[in-house]
A and B are shown apart, each in its own frame.
Chain A
Amino acid sequence: MAEEKKELEKKDVKRRDLEPVDEEKKQYIVVKIGDEQYGLDISYVDNIGRMQKITRVPKVQYHYIGIINLRGEVVPVMSIRRKMGLGDDVITNKSRIIILKMEEQGLVGVLVDEVREVIDLGESEIDRNVKASRKSDALFINGIGKNGNDLVSIFEVTAILDDVSAS
């Protein structure tokens, strides 16, 4: 009995040895802003909400659209388009507010045009060698991921929330 178990364990070890080392994959939420797709590290995402009434706050930074009521909490919502210098948002029924949970800033909403899917990407599937053509990309993009035939620009989430603006 005991020997049998040992045998099994040995086999198990062998099998594991044979398999290629599993690359640690991270999950990303793929969102659409304008015509391009962007990936957001899912570990920062608290939830994704539908469009709701955003209360404008006068005299704040240009890229903050206003505040919303998220289950009784007041959460600021930023426009990533404005932040990246892509002009004003166009609200459609596909528009979503992604609520990010940051250690430093707490909850912050980010308005995106569309949420497409969740993908798994390993480090090998992300090209970190990005030559940014736009200033905004240099600031907020830290890599390009390959999702099938599509390319996904990976956001540096902490940079989005830093108070620098491309515009």
Chain B
Amino acid sequence: MDVSQYLDIFIDESNEHIQALSDNIMILEKEPENKDTINEIFRAAHSLKGMAGTMGFKKMQHLTHDMENVFSEVRNDTVKVNSSLIDILFDCLDAIEAYVDTVKQTSNEGEEDNAALIQRLNDFLEGGGQVAAPAAAEGEAAPAEAAAAAPAEAEESSDNYKNLTLDEEDLGKLTHAAEGGSILYGFTAHINKDCLLKAARAFLVFKAVEDFGEILFYSPSAQDVEDEKFEFTFSFIVSTTSDLEPIQQAVAAVSEIETIECGKVNPEMYQHKTEAAPAPAAEAPATPAPAAKPAPAKAEKPAAKNNKKNANKPVTARTVRVDIEKLDALMNQVSELIIAKNSLVSISSSDGGSGDYDRQSFQEQIEYLERITTTLHESVMKVRMVPIENTVNKFPRMIRDLSRKLKKPMELVMTGEETELDRTVVDQIGDPLQHLLRNSADHGIEDPEKRSKSGKPENGTIFLNAFQEGNNVIIQVGDDGGGIDTDKVKAKAIERGLVSEEDAENLTQKEIVDFLFMPSFSMAKKVTDISGRGVGLDVVKSNIEALGGDVEVKTTLGQGSTFTIRLPLTLAIIQALMVDVRDEKYAIALASIMNIENIPVSDIKYVQAKEVIYLRGLVIPLIHLDDVLDCEPMEEKPEYLTVVIVKKGDNYAGLVVDNLIGQQEIVIKSLGKVIDNNKMISGATILGDGEVALILDANAMF
């Protein structure tokens, strides 16, 4: 079986489990006693282990297995969660992520076995929750690694059918077979290092050989081979009456077997070995030094080879995970499409060859077809949309790490992770966001002492809010820290010769802050590895502008700053209320609508010659959409008005419409560059019947 077809799924699911682990470990750090979380973590770790095992990624399986051990102890309350455990776990997560990355690049897990990490995990377990300093652990791990490598090395060289170690019973079998007139052949097969299912290959080899005779001895044992408990070579001895060559060919025919060594053997060959074997085994621990030496050299080589491989394109394609509902919708539309096609076929065949189609039903079907294809197109576009969640949910972990590193307590609060963006944008927005968050953590949030002095809670808050606003998706990143000291920025700009002293006096706050987006303009007094090198905000700006967006800063000294990223999205989808104004259809974003009222005309009051309605203690000005949209005036004045009440902040307005059509999910399209965009219209959308409707920007009505 070839598991490479499952690689994509493996990578996808691993990433999901890693994310789940990361999220839950974050929770665990805050609530070490939370049993649900521990169970959740345990499940995720277990799934990861199982998946890695299935795919034959031994090293990854090993690491996750040891993690699982720790979780199981935590679950059984034998060890307590503390911050050093959390640190180890996060390091493990990073290691697993590295494995998955390597798998993604090369479809192999790589050579790193993370012995040091596993050692730390085990030390933690043995120490009952006390962990040696990481430095010590690493020092300890190094010899352990070497020692582990040494026997492996030794094993490999001895792993030849000529050097097999047989016990009495097996020897007896061999002797018996030889006496029975069978010929004995020894085989050693080397499996391709990229092989994912070694056990299956070995099984095929055995099966091929068993056509010729009986396998008397396996090394490693048949059970171990089945469980894949072997490196890349295995040996066996077969008793047969056949010649060597056909067997050799049969074995070589099994794919992913690199080489086979084989030859005639006899029981006597192994008689000596049984006696000689213990000697070198005893010797090995006595002289670990020479054995250990080649090990690191060997480890380096594959690593170098790995790097080369990394340069190649990832073996897996970029994928989008699609909500099953979206797929169902697609499927439905395709079946409708087939129905429409069939109807057309039946119309064309029912005319009996006279060419005289029933024009009306023909036209109806065409319209139906049009409607389907438009919705189909929309659905396909929707499939491309993914929530920004995938990008932003690694940030809480990053802020946690930064918080520990910078010794400033802080927390990341995120909202609107479900906001959907086009896949390509979601992929590219990660870096700029990460940069802004790092900036907030490093420069924004002050030291705890300073915070408590200025009357703020010691815990700093960094926030990331995402939401849709008309034709844009807005992502705000900010903090409640010190804010940007515009005077200092001004001074720096003058010092750098970017502006003259006189001109600087007349700069607005916005203009001053804009200096921060200039290349190599850094305000950090010292360069850290987190930020301060001055390559940053300018890159953030250019990245966002490349996506067609812009970035804005609002800052108040002593109260923090907010970076607002605005991404104009031709693909953005919003929920909207469709309304009629005369014979035209308009969409109003549902997010800005508070409620809908039916108001008798007699209830309209006048304040300063303007129409208002008085509703539940609020005075709401009326806006007649037909007026502002230059529609034909209505011939008869209705007795009742349908009023859509919209709000912007604390302000309300009542939009008078003719008719309500209903709620609909719409794809926002831009009006293009040539049309003078008046503020009221934020875009257009294509309705199910192919007609274009305009989207009203309720915010511009105020």
A interface with B by C-beta (< 8 Å): 53, 55-61, 64, 66-69, 72-76, 78, 104-108, 161, 163
Sample (15) of A-B pairs whose CB atoms are under 8 Å apart = A55-B584, A55-B684, A57-B675, A58-B628, A58-B680, A59-B678, A59-B680, A60-B676, A60-B678, A69-B374, A74-B686, A104-B673, A105-B673, A106-B672, A163-B674
Closest chain-B Cβ to A62's Cβ sits at a distance in Å of 10
In the complex, chain A residues whose CB is within 8 Å of the CB of B378: 72
Which stretch (B244-252, B645-653, B690-698) binds chain A? Answer: B690-698
In this complex, how many residues of chain B approach chain A with their Cβ under 8 Å: the count is: 26
Contact (Cβ within 8 A) B686 A72: yes
- Tell me the bound Cα distance from A82 to B686 in angstroms: 26
Q: Report the bound CA distance from A80 to B674 in whole Å.
A: 14
B173 at the interface (CB under 8 A from A): no
Q: How far is the CA of A74 from the CA of B669 in the complex (A)?
A: 7
Say yes or no: A55-B672 contact (C-beta < 8 A), given A72-B374, A72-B377.
Answer: no
Among candidates A53, A67, A78, residue contacting B671 with C-beta atoms closer than 8 Å:
A67
A57 proximity list for chain B (CB < 8 A): 671, 675, 681, 694
Contact A60/B675 with A55-B691, A67-B684, A72-B686 known, Cβ cut-off 8 Å: yes
When distances are taken between beta carbons in the complex, the residues of chain A under 8 Å from B673 are: 104-106
Is B670 in the interface zone, CB < 8 Å from A?
yes
- Given A55-B691, A73-B669: A67 and B680 interface contact (C-beta under 8 Å): no
Q: Is B1 an interface residue (CB 8 A)?
A: no
Q: Can you list, as one digit per residue, whether each of B471-508 has a CB less than 8 Å from chain A (1) or not (0)?
A: 00000000000000000000000000000000000000
CA distance A104 to B672 in the complex (A): 11
Which residue from chain B places its CB closest to the CB of A102 in the assembled complex?
B674
CA distance A107 to B673 in the complex (A): 9
Distance of A140 Cα from B314 Cα, bound (Å): 54
Chain B neighbourhood of A76, CB < 8 A: 671-672, 674-675
Task: Note all chain B residues with C-beta closer than 8 A to A64.
Answer: 674-675
Q: Report how many A-B pairs have Cβ atoms within 8 Å.
A: 74
The smallest beta-carbon distance between A93 and chain B, in angstroms, is 15
Q: Which residue of A lies closest to B674 (CB)?
A: A105
Establish whether residues A68 and B674, one from each chain, have CB atoms under 8 Å apart when the complex forms.
Answer: no
- For the complex, what is the distance from the CA of A56 to the CA of B581, rounded to whole Å? 12
Is B282 in contact with chain A by the CB < 8 A criterion? no
A74→B670 contact, CB < 8 A: yes
A41 to chain B, nearest CB (A): 18
Tell me the nearest residue of chain B to A72, going by C-beta: B377
Q: Output the residue of B671, B675, B690, B693 with the most chain A CB within 10 A.
A: B675
Q: B630 an interface residue at 8 Å Cβ cutoff?
A: yes
Residues of A within 8 A of B669 (CB): 73-74
* Chain A residues whose CB sits within 8 angstroms of the CB of B670 once the complex forms: 74
B629 at the interface (CB under 8 A from A): yes
A61 and B676 in contact (CB under 8 A), knowing A55-B693, A69-B691? yes
A74 touches B672 (CB 8 A): yes
Across the interface, name the chain A residue whose C-beta is closest to B687: A69
Q: Which of B629-646 contact A (CB under 8 A)?
A: 629-631
Q: A53-B691, A69-B686 are in contact. Are A105 and B678 (CB under 8 A)?
A: no
A110 to chain B, nearest CB (A): 11
Q: How far is the CB of B578 from chain A (nearest CB, A)?
A: 13
Shortest CB-to-CB span from B574 to chain A, Å, is: 15
A57 CA / B671 CA spacing, docked (Å): 9
* Whole-angstrom distance between the Cβ of A103 and the nearest chain B Cβ: 11
Q: Which residue of A lies closest to B381 (CB)?
A: A72
Contact between B675 and A69, CB atoms less than 8 A apart: no
Shortest C-beta distance, B124 to chain A (Å), equals: 58
CA distance A89 to B414 in the complex (A): 54
A156 to B26, CA, bound (A): 65
Name the distance in Å between B384's Cβ and chain A's nearest Cβ.
Answer: 13
Which of the listed residues B630, B671, B690, B692 has the most CB atoms from chain A within 10 Å of its own CB?
B692
- Nearest-neighbor residue (CB-CB) of A52 within chain B: B690
**A-B residue pairs, 9 tightest by C-beta:** A55-B692, A74-B669, A58-B629, A59-B678, A74-B684, A58-B630, A76-B675, A105-B674, A72-B377
* 0/1 string, B653-674, CB within 8 A of A gives 1: 0000000000000000111111
Give chain B residues whose Cβ lies under 8 Å from the Cβ of A66: 692
CB distance from B655 to the nearest CB of A (A): 14
- Within 8 Å by CB of A67, from B374, B630, B690, B692, lies B692
Residues from chain B with a CB closer than 8 A to the CB of A163 are 674
- CB-CB under 8 A from A60, the residues of chain B are 675-676, 678
> A53 to chain B: which residues have CB within 8 Å?
691-692
Most buried by A among B378, B672, B676, B678: B672
Additional A-B contact list (9), CB under 8 Å, known A72-B378, A163-B674: A58-B681, A60-B678, A67-B671, A67-B684, A74-B670, A74-B672, A76-B674, A106-B672, A161-B674
- Which residue on chain A has the smallest CB distance to residue B378? A72
Q: How far is the CB of B259 from chain A (nearest CB, A)?
A: 55
How many whole Å from A162's CB to the nearest CB in chain B? 10
Closest-by-CB residue of A relative to B631 is A58
The distance in angstroms between the C-alpha atoms of A67 and B687, with both chains bound, is 13
